[in-house]
């Protein structure tokens, strides 16, 4: 048996001993008495009885051993700012932010919603919450007021932390008006809004509610706020993600299990060492940003780069210049970003000394072979795919080179990571597929390992019904991804089984986009599907049935309507969710029972066989879509 196979077997056969060992990678104020309580499946409680703190493990413990080493490196090619914070400085800034939150009345267990661009204060706010036991809920800055409002209502934050503006490609994007609109739309009203003024856009301040961060921080320059020792199962954060229904789910995560999972992944998967620099190009609004911009690298005692800007501005060499300058050893990005770079001159990459870099990890969407080959050759470094989800918090499939060096296979994110009992099930029978090269649904047998979601925020029933009920009679967690496994045990991910689409690595629910479009006064009905795109992986295409059908024959009117609908999606959900095209039809393909045949529409758009259409109400509906393409 290979070294990794033994390691993996131990993790699933003797999980208590395995995870107790991994738990030594972090500091505990009080040791745990039980490794895993799985007495109420599918709910798993890790490190029961233990007390720890994420901020202590990410910041304070390193202040004792490496106070002057870089901890957070902020680079904005949008504003031209570049600033390094040592662990000592990071600790001071986090305490100032924590003091401000306390001054605004935030208590342990309260939610703090963070709607921020990629600026250091966003990381300070997350760590400050972890420090005082408040639950952060970061909402991606690219989301607009409608998305933000639904998250405000679900999280019910005491305080919202935001900023005047973000910037993209040199264009200032004001956040404050979007936030004001979202608060107006939301039923829940936060007590206070803490605002960082970057000097990019003017902010209309609401008296009695809005508080400027700068002056309040000045009052707390020297306030000491100790880390609160929290029970392992204390909720550290919720992060919203899209599913089949329009209502986003608050993925809820614990404290102790998450800290252990991240520390272990930094060692076994990413192979990052204390004192080195980690560069993840994601955004704090996504799970990668939580796990591998903020918490993971810092827990490992690494410096982490927080980057605001595009990969191609001022030129395609920018990321690689940072690798050279800060001697980055581990880098993490998404296939879409690489496909963007691929269109640029490869000389931009080779201009820089990349000798510090050991590997580039890519995740968030399928990594196609041409993209993987191109970047592997351009960098001359190993490219390591890793497959996971907001729900898991850390890789489900990858290669654990820190345990044993194993080759990657093009097109495969790798093998099950320790702790995950990954299986493939037949979609209709629920039987396990044990042979090679059989397509099935990727599921995980409980208990989910440490670091994975505890439940859906305030909705245990939704957690059970959504994730654990897809196979009647079997309590397994569904990833909602199709997969196959080859004879060597490597998995290949073949897309989602549900209505989630993945645009440029961003996970979007087609139902949310449909709801936003359906609010247009002239839209009677709409179907949104994700179709393959060479650059973004997938793009959303909307097919709408109109109340006033004039646009079906009037091209100018159709164009105008398409623009209106796109604008509506921009305004309610954000430009990330905007469909690439909106097309008008007289009828949508449905089953006789009225279910939208999204997969058949998708297949037709991708020029594939739409499959069995015997249950279809009106076969001409698909023909109409074919004719439009």
Give the residues lining the site for ligand AMP (CB under 6 A): 241, 287, 363-367, 385-390, 413, 479, 481, 493, 496, 502, 507
483 touches 408 (CB < 8 A) = no
440 backbone dihedrals φ, ψ, rounded to 5°:
-155, 180
Return the number of the residue (364 or 589) whose C-beta is nearest ligand AMP.
364
Return the number of the residue (120 or 364) whose C-beta is nearest ligand AMP.
364
CB of 540 to ligand AMP, least distance (A): 15
Q: Strand pairing partners for 176?
A: none
Helix or strand (DSSP H, E) at 240: strand 237-241
Return the number of the residue (137 or 386) whose C-beta is nearest ligand AMP.
386
Q: How far apart are CA 179 and CA 188, in angstroms?
A: 13
Whether the bond between 447 and the residue before it is cis, its omega within 30 degrees of 0, is: yes
CB of 231 to ligand AMP, least distance (A): 26
Question: Using the 8-state DSSP alphabet, how is residue 525 labeled?
Answer: E
Q: Strand pairing partners for 190?
A: none
Return the number of the residue (190 or 530) whose C-beta is nearest ligand AMP.
530
Per-residue three-class SS string for 228-239: CCEECCCCCEEE
Return the number of the residue (225 or 384) whose C-beta is nearest ligand AMP.
384
Cα dihedral sign for 42, 48, 52, 57? negative
CB of 507 to ligand AMP, least distance (A): 3
211 touches 197 (CB < 8 A) = no
CB of 401 to ligand AMP, least distance (A): 16
Alpha helices by DSSP H, 133-175: 145-155
CB of 391 to ligand AMP, least distance (A): 7
Please state the length of the chain.
629
Helix or strand (DSSP H, E) at 180: helix 176-185
CB of 150 to ligand AMP, least distance (A): 17
213: Cα separation from own chain's centroid: 27
CB of 334 to ligand AMP, least distance (A): 9
Return the number of the residue (257 or 483) whose C-beta is nearest ligand AMP.
483
CB of 576 to ligand AMP, least distance (A): 12
Q: How many angstroms separate the first and last alpha carbons of the chain?
A: 53
> Locate tokens 């960098």: which residue?
379
CB of 209 to ligand AMP, least distance (A): 32
What interhelical angle do 87-103 and 120-132 show, nearest 10?
Answer: 70
94: Cα separation from own chain's centroid: 23
Return the number of the residue (133 or 285) whose C-beta is nearest ligand AMP.
285
Q: Coil, helix or strand for 603?
A: helix
DSSP string, 415-471: EEPTT-EEEEE-TTT--B--STT--EEEEEESSPPTTS--EETT-HHHHHHHHS-SS
CB of 10 to ligand AMP, least distance (A): 25
Q: How far apart are CA 176 and CA 156, in angstroms?
A: 19
Return the number of the residue (57 or 408) whose C-beta is nearest ligand AMP.
408
Return the number of the residue (167 or 386) whose C-beta is nearest ligand AMP.
386
Return the number of the residue (150 or 502) whose C-beta is nearest ligand AMP.
502
155 touches 249 (CB < 8 A) = no
């Amino acid at each position: 048996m290979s070294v990794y196979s033994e390691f993996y077997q131990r993790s699933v056969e003797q999980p208590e001993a395995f995870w107790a060992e991994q738990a030594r990678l972090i500091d505990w104020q009080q040791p745990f008495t039980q490794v895993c309580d799985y007495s109420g499946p599918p709910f798993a409680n890790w490190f029961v009885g233990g007390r720890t703190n994420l901020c202590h493990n990410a910041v304070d413990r390193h202040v004792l051993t490496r106070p002057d080493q870089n901890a957070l490196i902020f680079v904005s090619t949008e504003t031209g700012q570049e600033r390094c914070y040592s662990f000592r400085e990071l600790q001071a800034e986090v305490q100032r932010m924590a003091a401000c939150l306390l001054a605004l009345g935030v208590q342990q267990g309260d939610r703090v919603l963070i709607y921020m661009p990629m600026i250091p204060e966003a990381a300070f706010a997350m760590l400050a919450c972890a420090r005082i036991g408040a639950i952060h809920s970061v909402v991606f800055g690219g989301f607009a007021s409608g998305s933000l409002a639904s998250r405000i209502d679900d999280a019910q934050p005491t305080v919202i932390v935001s900023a005047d503006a973000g910037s993209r490609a040199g264009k200032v994007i004001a956040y404050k008006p979007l936030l004001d609109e979202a608060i107006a739309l939301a039923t829940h009203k936060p007590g206070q809004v803490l605002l960082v003024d970057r000097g990019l856009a003017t902010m209309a301040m609401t008296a009695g509610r809005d508080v400027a961060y700068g002056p309040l921080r000045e009052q707390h320059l020297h306030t000491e706020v100790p880390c609160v020792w929290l029970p392992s199962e204390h909720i550290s954060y919720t992060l919203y993600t899209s599913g089949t229904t329009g209502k986003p789910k608050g993925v809820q995560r614990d404290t102790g299990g998450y800290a252990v999972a991240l520390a272990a992944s930094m060692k076994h998967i990413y192979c990052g060492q204390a004192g080195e620099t980690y560069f993840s190009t994601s955004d704090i609004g996504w799970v990668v940003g939580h796990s591998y911009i903020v918490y993971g690298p810092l827990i490992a005692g690494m410096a982490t780069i927080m980057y605001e800007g595009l990969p191609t501005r001022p030129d395609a060499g920018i990321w690689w210049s940072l690798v050279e300058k800060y001697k980055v050893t581990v880098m993490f990005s998404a296939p879409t970003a690489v496909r963007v770079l691929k269109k640029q001159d490869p000389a931009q990459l080779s201009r820089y000394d990349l000798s510090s870099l050991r590997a580039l990890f890519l995740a968030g969407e399928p990594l196609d072979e041409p993209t993987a080959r191109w970047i592997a050759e351009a960098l001359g470094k190993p490219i390591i795919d890793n497959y996971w989800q907001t729900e898991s918090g850390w890789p489900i499939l990858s290669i654990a080179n820190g345990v044993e060096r194993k080759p990657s296979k093009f097109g495969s994110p790798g093998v099950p990571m320790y702790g995950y009992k990954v299986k493939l099930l037949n979609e209709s029978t629920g039987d396990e597929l044990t042979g090679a090269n059989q397509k099935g649904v990727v599921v995980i047998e409980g208990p989910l390992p440490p670091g994975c979601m505890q439940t859906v925020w305030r909705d245990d029933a939704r957690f059970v019904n959504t994730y654990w009920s897809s196979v009647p009679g079997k309590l397994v967690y569904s990833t909602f991804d199709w997969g196959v496994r080859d004879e060597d045990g490597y998995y290949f991910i073949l897309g989602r089984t549900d209505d989630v689409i993945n645009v440029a690595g961003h996970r979007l629910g087609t139902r949310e986009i449909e709801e936003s479009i359906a609010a247009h006064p002239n839209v009677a009905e709409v179907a949104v599907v994700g179709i393959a795109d060479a650059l973004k992986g997938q793009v959303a295409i909307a097919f709408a049935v109109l109340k006033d059908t004039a646009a079906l024959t009037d091209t100018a009117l159709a164009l105008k309507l398409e623009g209106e609908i796109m604008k509506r999606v921009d305004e309610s959900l954000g430009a990330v969710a905007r469909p690439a095209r909106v097309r008008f039809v007289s009828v949508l393909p449905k089953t006789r029972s009225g279910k939208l045949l999204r997969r058949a529409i998708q297949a037709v758009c991708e020029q594939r066989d739409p499959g069995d259409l015997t249950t279809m109400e009106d076969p001409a509906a698909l023909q109409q879509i074919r004719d439009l393409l």
